[in-house]
Amino acid sequence: MTGKDKALTLITKYAAKIHVTMVRRSGGKLVRTFRGGDMLLLSHTGRRSGKAFTTPALYVRDGEDYVIAASNGGIDAEPQWWLNLQADPRGAVEIGGRRTPVRATQVDETDRQQLWDALMAKCPTYDDYQAGVSRRISLVRLSPIGEERAA
């Protein structure tokens, strides 16, 4: 990881913690959007530690599903949350104070371009991120698997 990537990782980590705190303390009323896109909180389990983590992410809807980009802020490594969900695809999405259990899968190639374009319409920064990394940014589908409830 380059020095730039290390600095971006550190900044992103602390910005995410602040974002999650603001959303939860406001009952989901604050920080609902970022750069024009709708935001969710994604809860997942650490693949090595077993600890619970929560990550904010921009999303678009595809039917009942939520779709997010594993962009990692333009860093050339897969985000930890995506590596965690590949090890254990169970997670939860929080929006507006409501929590919904989900199962994560990688978006199929047949749907990828349409969903990438939908994300780009909300946040054109993703094209810049893709241009700056050697990996192909994964799109992740979060499919509800149970009843939603208050967070």
Over 90: is that where the pLDDT of 26 sits? no
Percentage of the chain modeled with pLDDT above 90: 48
Over 90: is that where the pLDDT of 129 sits? no
pLDDT of residue 151: 57
pTM listed for this prediction: 0.79
Domain boundaries of the chain, sorted by first residue: 3-150
pLDDT of residue 142: 98
Closest CA to 81 of 142, 146, 144, 132: 142
At a CB cut-off of 8 Å and minimum separation 6, what does 92 contact? 42, 43, 99, 100, 101, 102
CATH 2.30.110.10 fits 3-150, yes or no: yes
